[in-house]
């Protein structure tokens, strides 16, 4: 469906004013209203990670002079994704580029440009392990979160250097509205802030410390906050680490399809069944807590199923009031690591068909 997201229509504005899904102190941005309006209309925005920075076998090199019009998604559908995700992993170190070698200058430019074009921006943060010096996936110690919190040995490093650098970057976006999704997939145990690596209270404190620093200490009000555990867990486990109604705006879930030895047919069925199970309880919680919901990360790596979009993903999500669905990145340097179809790939016609569905929203150039 061809829609521009540039205007906040009257309905959206009313919903926003009514505080319909808003955390009381949170964002002074119309983004919540825009998302709510799409949900009210039964529409789902399509999102793609790192869409303007690189794609399957290409990468923006001279980002400062590049007009950033290239996009794998646009090459297939004629439209940009409505939502674009970027990752801030490495900003805490003062690095020039993020963990996937994307220059932070390019991320800033792409995010601001996408918002100017009428799109919506979301940031994740695969930050390093401050105790071991390893990456976000270093789960060799279960003392990291505890040490980052007040009273811990890493607290001042975390507050005065790591969060400060994050805050500086977010401030440099000059008010561009952003869905910020830190401490994601916390119901699994593959990141140092995961389930077996900290207590529920420690996790909540970590989330709140981050929120308080950015929102209150730094006064950064252009963020909507998203909580996004991974699938494969019970409703109780999903909510066990809920950071609080006052600081979170969106309830997300990350859920991927993994093809097993029985092929993509059965794996698609398993994927859809699990996704529906999770979205069902997330919908219940979102209603109860007055929040929006989203499918914050999803995908089938390498898209071996030629009809994945209309045959698997769409039927699984279409009946849920999700604001957006975001598929993961198309790596330029790993030919099999992609989650959106690219021009010439056999799955492209189905991706185009998905983009033309009435209730799926892309961004017209
Ligand atoms: C993962 C993979 C990694 C990447 C990370 C952060 O899912 O795509 O290659 O470094 O996300 O973007």
Ligand 1 atom closest to Cα of 89?
6
Q: Can you give the pLDDT at residue 161?
A: 98
Residue reference for tokens 């892309």 = 362
Ligand 1 contact, 70 CB (< 6 A): no
Ligand 1 contact, 305 CB (< 6 A): no
Q: Can you give the pLDDT at residue 8?
A: 42
Ligand 1 atom closest to Cα of 329?
8
Q: Can you give the pLDDT at residue 19?
A: 42
**Spacing of C-alpha 139 from chain mean position:** 22
Q: Ligand 1 centre and the CA of 133: distance in Å?
A: 18
Ligand 1 contact, 50 CB (< 6 A): no
Q: Whose CA is nearest to atom 4 of ligand 1?
A: 100
Q: Can you give the pLDDT at residue 18?
A: 44
Ligand 1 atom closest to Cα of 87?
12
Q: Ligand 1 centre and the CA of 13: distance in Å?
A: 36
Give the relative orientation of helices 10-17 and 31-40 as an angle to the nearest 10 degrees. Answer: 120
Ligand 1 contact, 317 CB (< 6 A): no
**Three-state SS string across the chain, please?**
CEECCCCCCHHHHHHHHCCCCCCCCCCCCCHHHHHHHHHHCCCEEEEEECCCCEECCEECCCCCCCCCCCCHHHHHHCCEECEEEEECCCHHHCCCECCCCCEHHHHHHHHHHHHHCCCEEEEECCCCCCCCCCCCCCCCCCCHHHHHCCCCCCHHHHHHHHHHHHHHHHHCCCCCCEEEECCCCCCCCCCCCCHHHCCHHHHHHHHHHHHHHHHHHCCCCCEEEEECCECCCCHHHHHHCCCCCCCCCEEEEEEEECCECCEHHHHHHHHHHHHHHHHHHHHHHHHHHCCEEEEEEEEECCCCCCCHHHHHHHHHHCCCCEEEEEECCCCCCCCCCCCCCCCCCCCHHHHHHHHCCCCEEEECC
Q: Can you give the pLDDT at residue 86?
A: 99
List beta partners, residue 230. Answer: 254
Q: Can you give the pLDDT at residue 13?
A: 42
Ligand 1 contact, 97 CB (< 6 A): no
First to last CA, the chain: 13
Residue reference for tokens 């998302």 = 35
Q: What angle do CA 131, 137, 140 make, to 5 degrees?
A: 50
Q: Ligand 1 centre and the CA of 118: distance in Å?
A: 26
Ligand 1 contact, 254 CB (< 6 A): no
Residue reference for tokens 């440009």 = 113
Q: Can you give the pLDDT at residue 16?
A: 43
Ligand 1 contact, 87 CB (< 6 A): yes
Per-run averaged pLDDT (10 residues), the chain, 365 residues? 47 43 50 96 98 98 98 98 99 98 98 98 99 98 98 98 98 97 98 98 98 98 97 98 98 98 98 98 98 98 98 98 98 98 98 98 98
Ligand 1 contact, 99 CB (< 6 A): yes
Pocket test for ligand 1, best of 91, 98, 100, 335 (most atoms within 8 A of CB): 100
Q: Ligand 1 centre and the CA of 337: distance in Å?
A: 9
Ligand 1 contact, 102 CB (< 6 A): no
Q: Ligand 1 centre and the CA of 33: distance in Å?
A: 30
Ligand 1 atom closest to Cα of 334?
9
d(CA 156, CA 341): 44
Ligand 1 contact, 126 CB (< 6 A): yes
Ligand 1 contact, 301 CB (< 6 A): no
Q: How big is the chain by its Cα radius of gyration, in Å?
A: 19
Ligand 1 contact, 329 CB (< 6 A): yes
């Amino acid at each position: 469906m061809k829609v521009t997201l540039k205007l906040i229509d009257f309905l959206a504005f009313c919903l926003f004013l009514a505080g319909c899904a808003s955390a009381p102190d949170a964002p002074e941005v119309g983004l919540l209203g825009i998302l709510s309006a799409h949900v009210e209309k039964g529409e789902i925005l399509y999102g793609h990670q790192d869409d303007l920075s690189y794609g399957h076998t290409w990468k923006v090199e001279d980002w400062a002079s590049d007009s950033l019009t290239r996009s794998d998604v646009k090459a297939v559908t004629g439209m940009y994704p409505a939502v674009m995700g970027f990752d801030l992993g490495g900003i805490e170190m003062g690095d020039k580029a993020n963990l996937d070698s994307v220059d932070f200058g390019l991320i800033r430019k792409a995010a601001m440009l996408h918002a100017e074009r009428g799109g919506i921006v979301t940031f994740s943060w695969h930050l390093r392990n401050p105790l071991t010096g390893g990456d976000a996936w270093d789960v060799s110690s279960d003392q990291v979160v505890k040490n980052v919190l007040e009273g811990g040995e890493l607290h001042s490093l975390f507050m005065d250097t790591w969060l400060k650098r994050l805050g500086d970057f977010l401030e440099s976006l000059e008010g561009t509205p952003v869905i910020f999704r830190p401490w994601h997939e916390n119901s699994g145990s593959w990141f140092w802030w995961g389930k077996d690596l900290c207590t529920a209270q420690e996790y909540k404190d970590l989330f709140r410390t981050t929120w308080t620093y950015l929102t209150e200490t730094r006064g950064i009000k252009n963020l909507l906050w998203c909580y996004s555990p991974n699938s494969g867990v019970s409703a109780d486990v999903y909510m066990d680490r809920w950071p609080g109604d006052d600081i979170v705006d969106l309830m997300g879930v990350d859920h991927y399809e993994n093809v097993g030895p029985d092929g993509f047919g059965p794996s698609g069925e398993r994927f859809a069944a699990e996704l529906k199970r999770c979205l069902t309880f997330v919908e219940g919680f979102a209603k109860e807590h007055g929040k929006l919901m989203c499918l914050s990360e999803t995908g089938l790596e390498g898209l071996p199923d030629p009809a994945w979009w209309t045959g698997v993903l769409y039927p699984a999500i279409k009946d849920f009031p999700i604001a957006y669905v975001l598929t993961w990145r198309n790596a330029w340097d790993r030919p099999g690591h992609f989650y959106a179809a690219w021009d010439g790939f056999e799955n492209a016609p189905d991706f185009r068909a998905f983009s033309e569905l009435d209730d799926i929203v892309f961004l017209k150039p």
